[in-house]
Structure 1
Amino acid sequence: MRTTLLLPQRMLQLTLAIVKPDAVAHPLILQAVHKTIVDNRFLIVRSKDLLWSRQESQRFYQEHSGRFFYQRLVEFMASGPMRAYILAHQEAISFWRSLMGPTKVFRAQHTDPESIRGTFGLTDTRNTVHGSDSTASASREIAFFFPEFSEEHWYRYEEPQLRRESAYYDTKAGVEHRPVDSWTEAD
């Protein structure tokens, strides 16, 4: 199935989204999170599946070193496969964070039960997804997960083209986005 999106004229923003090991271990949850991304008209700029070493997990969460949850988080994030996305949307950071719901699963289940964490989260560590909390964090986190990706190049060349033209997401092909002529849906 191919869904075409007519993209906005306002500048797109990038964010990093991670589907954590607890969700990737359950293909139906991974599929539901992916569907949430697509249904909410995020552009999937890049995507990759990966498995972290303990050292990579420690480097990524270095800012939390010394906090009570640090060791538990490091071990969990190195415990199994993850999926990382670079997502684009007009307000990608705040929009993705609103879809994720509160970090604390108990709070998410009671205040935002339709959120990703409210629906699928197990504990505050095993809360299904991660998202950047600011533009600075998004840039740093994207560079960590996608060192080959040039944010400057994307904003200079790809982002303006995506705003000028419509794009589509091909569910069979994965994360392909290409300019097309008009809004259509086809199989």
Structure 2
Amino acid sequence: MDRTFVMIKPDGVQRGLVGEIVSRLEAKGLKLVAARFEVLPEPRVTDQYKEHLSKPFFPSLKKYIMGGPVFLMVWEGRNVVAIVRKVIGATNPQEAAPGTIRGDFGIDIGRNVIHASDSPESATREIAIHFKQNELSVYTRIDESVLYEY
């Protein structure tokens, strides 16, 4: 099975959306294998957003991400990166389809509720930034036999 990284950003936490988001991903059939609630330290924010370090919006992004607690998660499932990206919707909530997390809960691109890895390579990198290997659970969900064709 594949894994991906998902972070409910400070605006999602502040708005009480953690349970709703976890429920949507679980209802889709994905398996939660790690989770942690914390305020991110600066070195991990810099690692997480290293491709944006030189962009003019990075200082405000860093302040925002470090401005409150986030909920970090690792999800598992077949083709999980693409599935999660569809469930969360387009980066700009104004372009996100209704029924997606950003389409239902976001208004502004700078407060779009959630982050998810955009590729399997990004997922591997982002998971390693936030979780040690021994923090990732290995188990079988009771419904896996009806979720997947083997």
Q: TM-score range by the shorter chain?
A: 0.7 to 0.9
Q: For 1:168 and 1:126, how far apart are their aligned partners in 2?
A: 36
Deviation at 1:150, TM superposition (A): 7.6
Q: Report deviation, 1:19.
A: 0.7
Answer yes or no: is 1:14 the counterpart of 2:3.
yes
After superposition, the CA RMSD in angstroms is: 2.3
Deviates more, 1:137-146 or 1:29-38: 29-38
Segments of structure 1 that go 5 or more residues without pairing to the other structure are 1-11, 170-178
Picking from 121, 124, 133, the partner of 1:136 is 121
User: Matched residues in 2 for 1:18 and 1:149: separation?
Assistant: 19
Q: In structure 2, what is the equivalent of residue 39 of structure 1?
A: 27
| Residues 1:106 and 2:94 aligned together | yes
Which of 107, 127, 146 is residue 122 of structure 1 equivalent to? 107
Please, what TM-score do these two structures have when normalized by structure 2? Answer: 0.87
5 Å matches for 1:86-97?
A: 86-97=74-85
Gaps in structure 2 of 5+ consecutive residues: none
Matches within 5 A, 1:148-159: 148-149=133-134, 158=138
Q: Which has the larger radius of gyration?
A: 1
Q: Matched residue pairs, number?
A: 146
Name the % identity.
25
Q: Distance in 2 between matches of 1:149 and 1:97?
A: 26
Question: Residues 30-84 of structure 1, C-alpha deviation per residue, up to 9 Å, x if partnerless?
Answer: 2111110111111001111111133432232121111132122111110101111
Which segments of structure 1 move beyond 6 Å, counting only runs of 4 or more? none
Answer whether contact 1:15 1:87 (CA < 8 A) is retained.
Answer: yes
